[in-house]
Structure 1
Amino acid sequence: MGIDDLVNKGKDFLEQNKDQISDILKSDKAEGVSDTVLGAGADFVKKLAPDEHDATIDDVRANIDKSIGNE
């Protein structure tokens, strides 16, 4: 099985389960996990990047968070 076969199987799986995946991404559990992961990621990047980029990092985090969870 080649990489193209794996990619196509992944695409098929996503297409067949898109409603369930959407429901999971909008769940309370996804909200909690995303808040934790995004918060940790943003804090890590803030430690590496100059302070003048903190607002941009917070904006990116907020925009990603809008797409995951239910808040």
Structure 2
Amino acid sequence: MAGFDDIAKQAGDFIEQNKDKIHEVLKSEQAEDISDKVLDGIGEAVKKIAPDEHDGTIDDVKANIDKSVGNQ
């Protein structure tokens, strides 16, 4: 059974070998659609429990994350 360090190294090697494909998938329209739905759901859930004065900050965090995934 491989240890955590071995698994982490294998994951790192996989990511390095496939970084162009991974980048392509992360910037795809499908990734954009999925991330929008997930981020919208999380944002709305947090807004329900956080005080209203934090809504702007929640939207800013959501927008910054959204820039990293998808094509928009």
Q: What's 2:13 paired with?
A: 12
Q: What's 1:40 paired with?
A: 41
Q: What's 2:25 paired with?
A: 24
Structure 1 segments, 4+ long, off by >2 Å, are none
Please report the RMSD computed on the Cα atoms of aligned residues, expressed in angstroms.
Answer: 0.5
Query: How many correspondences in the alignment?
Result: 71
TM-score when normalising by structure 2: 0.96
TM-score when normalising by structure 1: 0.97
What does residue range 31-70 of structure 1 map to in structure 2 within 5 Å?
31-70=32-71
Structure 1: gaps spanning 5 or more residues: none
Structure 2: gaps spanning 5 or more residues: none
**Residue identity (%):** 59
Separation of aligned partners in 2, 1:41 and 1:24: 22
Separation of aligned partners in 1, 2:47 and 2:17: 39
* Cα offset, 1:55, TM superposition: 0.3
